[in-house]
Structure 1
Amino acid sequence: MPEPYFQKFAQRSPPRFPAMSQRRTLAWHFMAGLTIGVGAWYLQWRWLQSLNPDALFFSVAVVSAETLLFLGTLLFYFDIWAEQDTPQKPPPLTRDDAHLDGPGPIGVDLYITTYDEDPEVLIPTIAAAQQVMCPPNVSPQIYLLDDGNRPHIAALAHRSGICYLARSSNEGFKAGNLRNALMQTAGDFIVICDADTRLEPTFLQHTLGYFRNPKVAWVQTPHWFYDIPEGQAWESWLKTRLGQMAQPILPTLATSLQWLTGRDRVGADPFLSEPTVFFDIIQRRRNRNGASFCCGAGSVHRREAIFAAALKRKSAAVDKAQGHPPGPASPIWINSIPLQPFRFHVSEDIYTSILLQEDREEGWTSVYHPKVEARMLSPWTMEAWATQRLKYAGGTFDIMLRDNPLFRRGLPWRHKLHYGATFWSYLTTLWLPVLLLAPVISLVTGIAPVEAYSAEFFLHFLPVIFLSEIAMVLACKGYAIQPGRALALSTLPIQLRALWLVLQGKRPRFPPTPKTPVFGQGHHHILPNLCLMFAMAGAGIYGTVQTLRGAESHDMALLITNLFWLVWNMAAVGRIALAASWSPDTAPSPAPTEETTNVHDFSLYR
């Protein structure tokens, strides 16, 4: 049996995420304030003095999109305003320390969920779970939850000496699988692992201490994809293909390609999977308000909180079905409505988080633990990437349109703003295409969305861009932010498809992200990106020819300004298209140092 592809990455060490210094925080706050002020000044000028009267509809559409993006910036700034980690405490030594009733040790159930993953994926996951160090007076039990009900996986569990649980149906997808296990186990705390989640030995030692606070419902740890390809330096990549004869020009060629592509290495993180900014910036800073949400794998939950919230939801559903105010319900009605400890949904993790956080009576809160305590596999194929992104977008749109937490009375207003930032980031799907296509329209028609590309325009526009870039670099601790912007544009077709499916009333399904790469499939997912790139290229060529011919509708200022944005947009849209031709051969994997593993991108929400 060949060695699994991810085995060669096993020696990688997880990155460290130090806390943000007070000096950097002050600099970030100062630049954020400047950006907000200059941005408001720019928009005031755009609305009142820069609209093109000869193309008013086009001009208003563009400035409206700019305004909506500015509102998203305000939400995002609130989202990541300050870092405030929860003080880490030692694991509870007794049940009283963890605010648990009854005698005996503290029970911890480690759930490994699986559906169709191969044994080669599950074997290291099981081995890692068995190597987790157990604090004193803690009794762990490992369960393999097989929603595929496969005999060979049952045999694997038996050989590994762990418990095996399966069910005859797939009701509720992953949430239903978890419910099935919760009904058959009794651990005080539940650790959730996906099929590829390899826990670090320190997982329980570093997370259980937070539950000394009786109101902590769950603890979420960062996701770290240890198999993300690091790629090759451009010069090395060119040398392999051009040979020694091209040695004199290799440095120049490498520098040129680095500048043109905006990428330091070829083949590095082809699917823009690195989640560091999401976890170390967004989730970590939501922690100041107890508003970080559960992301499934790598989390540990208090059983009492899960069931208390589920019973309340069931009681409310029974009351609603009976058509009377909340109160005692008949056993018949109670039995007819299923209990959902984790809400049956494609995004059961964030959905259940919202339902717990809105319970003001119980006052449940969450903790984000900033240290990596688990490693996972990233998408290695176009099919896996598209499946994951469609699931994320579809689940978020479904919650937003059908059960929006912003309208829930119990959810604190700060939490609503945090979730509002999440939803707004997905809603940019509606107005981002306006800005994406604006250069195409201008180059084809010769019509500008502003009255003129004058010195006054650049005097207002450039300070906004300059200050916002500095603010983002400071806010994101210097992590790379361009890949995340590329991801936002590259995923537009998928997000639009997800929104359309939800608007049609189709419930998002829960297809597991493929863990075993099969190359050469899924290329149809990038066809919209390729069509868009061809349209952009055609517009650029047409606009250039018209300007050089001296067409009355085109001038050099319009050409240069729109070509700049067109090339940037094409590079962003095409970034994921390049991944379709990526193969592991372009991504050798030397064991990196902590410094080289800490390569990040600005991934958007979930």
Structure 2
Amino acid sequence: MIKRGRTWGEISSSEWRGLFLVAIGMLAFGYYFVWWLNSLRQPSVWLLLLFVFATAYGATQILGNWALYLATHWRGSTPSLRVPEYLSVDVFITACGESPALVERALQAAVNMRGQHQTWLLDDGEDPRLEKMARRLGAGYLVRNGRNDAKAGNLNAALSQTSGEIVVIFDVDHAPTPDFLERTLGYFRFPKIGFVQVMLTFENHTDGWVATAAADSSLDFYNPTSIGSDGIQSTTLIGSNALIRRAALESIRGYQPGLAEDLATSIALHSAGWRSVYLPEPLAPGYAPPDIAAWFTQQLKWARGVFELLLTAYPRYFRQMSRSKRVAYAVRMTYYWIGPVIFLHLLATLLALFSSNEAVLANFQDYLEHLAPLGIAMMIIRQLALRRWRRFSRGASLMSNLQIKPVILVFGTWPVYTLAWLMVLARLPLRFRPTPKTQSGSLSPGWMLPQVVVSLLLLLGLLRHVADPASLSFLMWGFAGAQLFAHVLLIVQWLRLSFSKDRPAFPLLSSAETVHTQARSGSQ
């Protein structure tokens, strides 16, 4: 992609490098599909369905992401714009049963932001302790009748009771810096800007393996992917750390309900003609899921909600969106297809390992030979994109850029993503549940049963070939071994968290509890 209106000499060396690598990646992508085209010579309905799925996934998650990586070069600088004096601002912090310490951390930070604004605590838990806290800190306190539509309903009820021209939304685990409004409100000088989305960062990335992996799993999305989306004027709303023009929300009849209410609102705003801005700065750090139970809860809710939008809102708004927005939303809405993709590759691996038909094993090993160049190209392109466009996150390192921990975590979450896809296809509802903010270690063994079963089957399958190692290619040993390693490592983390007795409940939250206790003592 070349920015319009520039000469060849104005294209930077970084862009040339990106274009070259993506061109190599396209060749690898084509080589991978050579296997599919050869296989389709033997008619098979199931093989045809798998080919369609592979094509859809490859076009959105591989080619789509590469397009967004290149689009990062289209994005201009984000200068600080003077805040319009006439803007009135309401700050909403949504809560529903979270720890008072966590709420106070966010509420105090919001009240302390510089600039004229009114902070409101939107308490769906109707906790009298939080009402007293809000009054003490100088914030408003709002409740509503019932809990219909979860977060979206909470926000819409607050919108009906307030009047600020700009609405700023924070999830309860995100605490804004004092200059948050100064760095963001200036973009609303432009009347067509409907919302400004500020980068999400996580300050608990050192609180254990899961927290580190969960925080790193978002590096790609919140850095090159979101920056590239902004480069083609297609920033998507994430929810927390967001500023939205009230008139924009009113034009779409308020925040859209659902498990992925933020994404639903985003696509409605863009389809209504509103523009957006992405600001990649760490202005409101939050908490990543601290353990596997919290991670699975979050990912099931998100995947189920996003998949539903993929099948409903995306087709409905497709004609109203520009081509660039179609690409950006397709990339975001098909991300969780990674679960079914992993599941299908696991099935194929096990079938090849246990099959007595040498042709089956040979065919799958041939598939891996065509897949390997594409996998290598994907890793190299993502690594260089993170090195080039990683902004204001925790200290960059080779390990975090290679995404080893998050790859293992996401890989081991395939049953959750696959379940979410099946639930959408079967139209099975999922009750809204906030992501746990503290470590509990209490995950039902049933949630890890698929990983345990697959690990045992992979181990047995590999042991079948130990006596004759040459029966498997080097790629087959490596592919099956990597799958086994990823599953075992996640199982070990689950067991460690489940049986550890002396771990802190949540180090950062424990500190917040101390601050909360001191504040209460000082006010008495």
Task: Indicate whether the TM-score tops 0.5.
Answer: yes
CA distance in 2, matches of 1:126, 1:73: 40
The aligned counterpart of 1:495 is 417
TM-aligned CA deviation for residue 462 of structure 1: 5.0
Q: Does the CA-based 8 Å contact 2:198-2:279 persist in structure 1?
A: yes
Letter in 2 for 1:280: N
Among 113, 117, 121, which residue is 1:144 paired with?
121
**Equivalent position amino acid for 1:503 in 2:** L
| One-letter identity of the residue aligned with 2:80 | K
- In structure 2, what is the Cα distance between the partners aligned to 1:171 and 1:461? 46
Local SS of the residue matching 2:237: coil
- Displacement after TM superposition at 1:375 (Å): 1.0
Matching of residue 373 in structure 1 with residue 283 in structure 2: yes
CA distance in 1, matches of 2:312, 2:29: 33
CA contact (8 A) 2:184 2:196 kept: yes
Letter in 2 for 1:192: I
Distance 1:379 1:267 in 2: 7
Equivalent residue for 2:487? 573
1:199 is paired with a residue whose SS is coil
Please tell me whether the aligned partners of residues 76 and 421 of structure 1 are also in contact (alpha carbons under 8 angstroms): yes
Q: Which residue of 2 aligns with 1:599?
A: none
Residue in structure 1 matching 2:188, options 211, 229, 235:
211
> Counterpart of 2:14?
24
Note if 1:280 corresponds to 2:223. Answer: yes
Q: 1:75 aligns with which of 64, 69, 81?
A: 64
Q: Find 1:348's aligned residue among 238, 248, 261.
A: 261
Partners of 1:29 and 1:39 lie apart in 2 by 15
Larger mean CA deviation between 407-416 and 219-228 belongs to: 407-416
Q: Is the 8 A contact 1:125 1:199 kept in 2?
A: yes
- Would the alpha carbon gap of residues 227 and 523 (structure 1) be closer, same or farther in structure 2, given more than 3 Å must change? farther
Deviations, residues 68-91 of structure 1 (Å, cap 9, x unaligned):
553341122123322114532323
- 1:238 paired residue number: none
With normalisation by structure 1, the TM-score equals: 0.72
Q: Which of 543, 547, 563 lines up with 2:465 in the alignment?
A: 543
1-side partners of 2:271 and 2:52: how far apart? 33
Q: Deviations over 1:418-448 (max 9, x none)?
A: 1112233223433432222322221211545
8 Å contact 1:133–1:205 — kept in the other structure?
yes
Amino acid at match of 2:102: V
Equivalent of residue 159 in structure 2, options 149, 160, 182:
182
The equivalent position to 1:418 in structure 2, one of 320, 325, 328, is 328
Specify which of 104, 109, 112 is matched with residue 90 of structure 2: 109
Contact persistence 1:27–1:474 (CA under 8 A): no
Structure 2 SS opposite 1:300: strand
Q: Distance in 2 between matches of 1:267 and 1:391?
A: 18
In the TM superposition, residue 587 of structure 1 has moved relative to its aligned partner by 12
Counterpart position of 2:391:
none
User: Displacement of 1:201 after TM fit?
Assistant: 1.1
Aligned in 2, Cα 1:365/1:508: closer, same or farther, shift over 3 Å?
farther
The two structures have a TM-score, normalised by structure 2, of 0.82
Distance 1:216 1:473 in 2: 32
Partner of 1:37: 27
Name the SS of the counterpart of 1:409 in structure 2. helix
Q: Does 1:269 align with 2:212?
A: yes
Distance 2:278 2:452 in 1: 39
| Residues 184-583 of structure 1: pairs in structure 2 closer than 5 A | 184-229=161-206, 269=212, 271=214, 274-310=217-253, 341-359=254-272, 363-405=273-315, 408-446=318-356, 447=358, 449=360, 463-477=373-387, 479-545=401-467, 547=468, 556-558=470-472, 560-580=474-494, 581-582=496-497
Could you tell me how far apart the structure 2 residues matched to 1:453 and 1:433 are? Answer: 15
Structure of greater Rg = 1
**Equivalents in 1 of 2:443, 2:375: separation in Å?**
39
Q: Is the 8 A contact 1:219 1:301 kept in 2?
A: yes
Given candidates 82, 107, 128, the residue that maps to 1:91 is: 82
Q: Deviations over 1:204-242 (max 9, x none)?
A: 0100111111111111111111012265xxxxxxxxxxx
- Mapped partners of 1:151, 1:396: distance in 2: 34
Contact 1:444 1:539 survives alignment (8 Å): yes
| SS, match of residue 199 in structure 2 | coil
Post-superposition shift, 1:528?
1.5
Percent of aligned pairs with the same residue? Answer: 25
| Equivalent residue letter for 1:351 | A
> Does the residue aligned with 1:217 lie in a helix, a strand or coil?
strand
Q: Which residue does 1:237 correspond to in 2?
A: none
Change in Cα spacing, 1:273 to 1:154, as seen in structure 2 (3 Å) is: farther
Give the CA deviation at 1:411. Answer: 1.4
1:484, distance to aligned residue in structure 2 (A): 4.0
Question: What is the aligned partner in structure 1 of residue 8 from structure 2?
Answer: none
Structure 2 gap ranges (5+): 1-10, 388-397, 509-524
> Aligned-pair RMSD on alpha carbons?
3.1
Alignment CA distance shift 1:25-1:485 (3 Å): farther
The alpha carbon displacement at 1:129 in A equals 1.1
Distance 1:23 1:143, change over 3 A: same
Which structure: greater helix fraction? 2
What secondary structure is seen at the aligned counterpart in 2 of 1:226?
A: coil
- Post-superposition Cα deviations, 1:65-115, rounded to whole Å, max 9, x if no partner, equal 7655533411221233221145323233433xxxxxxxxxx2111111101
> How many angstroms does 1:403 deviate by?
2.7
Structure-2 change in CA distance of 1:570 and 1:444 (3 Å): same
Secondary structure at the counterpart of residue 562 of structure 1: helix
Distance 1:268 1:293, change over 3 A: closer
